[in-house]
């Protein structure tokens, strides 16, 4: 291949590229696909409910005009991120999330818990201890199950009916996957990695949950089981069975087996007649 041929091929290739660029630009203008890049305010990290925004929490990020929606905070001139949005958050904000002014409490003195409640939900506080709140490792924003442990009063013939199921105590899951709104009056997770044990925990529940918590708080002891992050599986269904003392105690189960097989002391019955009472041993 001689030099002239190479020059012609290269020139033709360059011309083809230029034509393609011109055609692409023309089509974008005609179809309205050509977009302008703007700058919008986004979060640099995850922030919890009630968090007060500080320098470094926000940044300006390029944003396509085609993806712009109403409410996004756009950059105006040389405005700094911390100047564009100030205050306390009314909900959880995730890293990289584009922000709107609606994420803020209307007032710095606003009720954080009330602002965090979802539509149709209620906030209910229950008494807790170190043992019942996982040693203090539960924080606002976590999800828990509510467990009730209580005594069952069984009398008369019912004792025989349920003797292989329960003797006195039962434990059952009352509510699942419930969000913790606050511990005592702390509605924000502390930045410090310190374990703190509260005396009351405020939970977010529906109207039925409000009544259930009010009732079970009088029935027995409540415990909270901490759920893993992202674990929202519900296990209480029609096949669910509460845990009872008989189910977990080998001693109680052994006593029941012995009584059913006639083990232990001989059994007796009393026969009442006109002459008195006769005690008769029932042999195996």
The CATH number assigned to the domain holding 52 equals: 3.90.1210
Give the alpha-carbon dihedral of 156, 160, 161, 164, to 10 degrees.
140
Domain boundary residue, one of 103, 132, 149: 103
What confidence tier does 130 reach under pLDDT thresholds 50, 70, 90?
confident
| pLDDT exceeds cutoff 80 at 169 | yes
Range of the domain at 94: 37-103
- 82 and 183 housed in the same domain: no
User: Is residue 279 a part of any domain in this protein?
Assistant: yes
- 157 and 213 housed in the same domain: yes
Which pLDDT does position 89 carry in this prediction? Answer: 86
Residue bearing the bigger pLDDT, 258 or 41? 41
- 21 and 95 housed in the same domain: no
| pLDDT exceeds cutoff 50 at 33 | no
Strand partners, 122: 205
Specify the DSSP element, H or E, that contains 62. strand 58-64
User: Is residue 219 a part of any domain in this protein?
Assistant: yes
Which pLDDT does position 62 carry in this prediction? Answer: 93
User: Is residue 128 a part of any domain in this protein?
Assistant: yes
At 194 the three-state DSSP class reads: coil
Q: Which of 66-75, 165-174, 185-194 has maximum average pLDDT?
A: 165-174
- 80 and 94 housed in the same domain: yes
User: Is residue 147 a part of any domain in this protein?
Assistant: yes
User: Is residue 67 a part of any domain in this protein?
Assistant: yes
Q: Find tokens 């976590």 and name the residue.
A: 142
Q: Which of 9-23, 31-45, 234-248 has maximum average pLDDT?
A: 234-248
Helices (H), the chain: 3-31, 81-84, 112-116, 158-161, 207-219, 245-248, 250-261
Which pLDDT does position 196 carry in this prediction? Answer: 62
Q: Which of 5-14, 106-115, 181-190 has maximum average pLDDT?
A: 181-190
pLDDT tens-place string over residues 230-255: 888 998 888 899 999 999 998 888 88
Mean pLDDT of the chain: 81
- 143 and 99 housed in the same domain: no
| pLDDT exceeds cutoff 60 at 94 | yes
- 217 and 142 housed in the same domain: yes
- 70 and 7 housed in the same domain: no
Residue bearing the bigger pLDDT, 267 or 244? 244
| pLDDT exceeds cutoff 90 at 87 | no
Task: Say how far apart CA 103 and CA 49 lie, in whole Å.
Answer: 10
Total number of domains in the chain: 4
Of 73, 51, 48, 46, the closest CA to residue 61 belongs to 73
User: Is residue 109 a part of any domain in this protein?
Assistant: no
The secondary structure of residue 233, as a DSSP letter, is -
């Amino acid at each position: 291949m001689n030099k002239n041929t190479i020059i012609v091929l290269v020139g033709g290739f360059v011309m083809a590229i230029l034509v393609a660029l011109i055609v692409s630009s023309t089509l974008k203008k005609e179809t309205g696909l050509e977009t302008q890049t703007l700058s919008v305010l986004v979060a640099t990290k995850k922030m919890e409910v009630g968090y007060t925004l500080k320098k470094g929490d926000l940044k300006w990020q390029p944003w396509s005009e085609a993806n712009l929606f109403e409410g996004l905070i756009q950059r105006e001139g040389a405005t700094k991120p911390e100047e564009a949005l100030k205050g306390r958050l009314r909900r959880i904000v995730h890293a990289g999330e584009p922000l709107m002014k609606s994420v803020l409490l209307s007032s710095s003195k606003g009720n954080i818990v009330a602002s965090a409640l979802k539509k149709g939900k209620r906030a209910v506080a229950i008494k807790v201890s170190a043992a019942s709140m996982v040693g203090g490792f539960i924080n606002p924003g976590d999800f828990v199950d509510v467990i009730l442990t209580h005594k069952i009063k069984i009398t008369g013939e019912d004792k025989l009916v349920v003797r292989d199921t329960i003797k006195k105590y039962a434990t059952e899951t009352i509510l699942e996957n419930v969000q913790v709104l606050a511990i005592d009056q702390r509605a924000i997770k502390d930045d410090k990695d310190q374990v703190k044990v509260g005396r009351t925990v405020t939970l977010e529940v529906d109207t039925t949950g409000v009544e259930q918590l009010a009732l079970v708080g009088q029935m027995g002891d409540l415990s909270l089981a901490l759920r893993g992050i992202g674990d929202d599986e519900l296990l209480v269904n029609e096949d669910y069975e509460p845990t009872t003392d008989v189910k977990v105690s080998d001693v109680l189960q052994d006593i029941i087996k012995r009584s059913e097989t006639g083990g232990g002391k001989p059994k007796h019955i009393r026969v009442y007649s006109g002459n008195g009472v006769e005690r008769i041993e029932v042999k195996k």
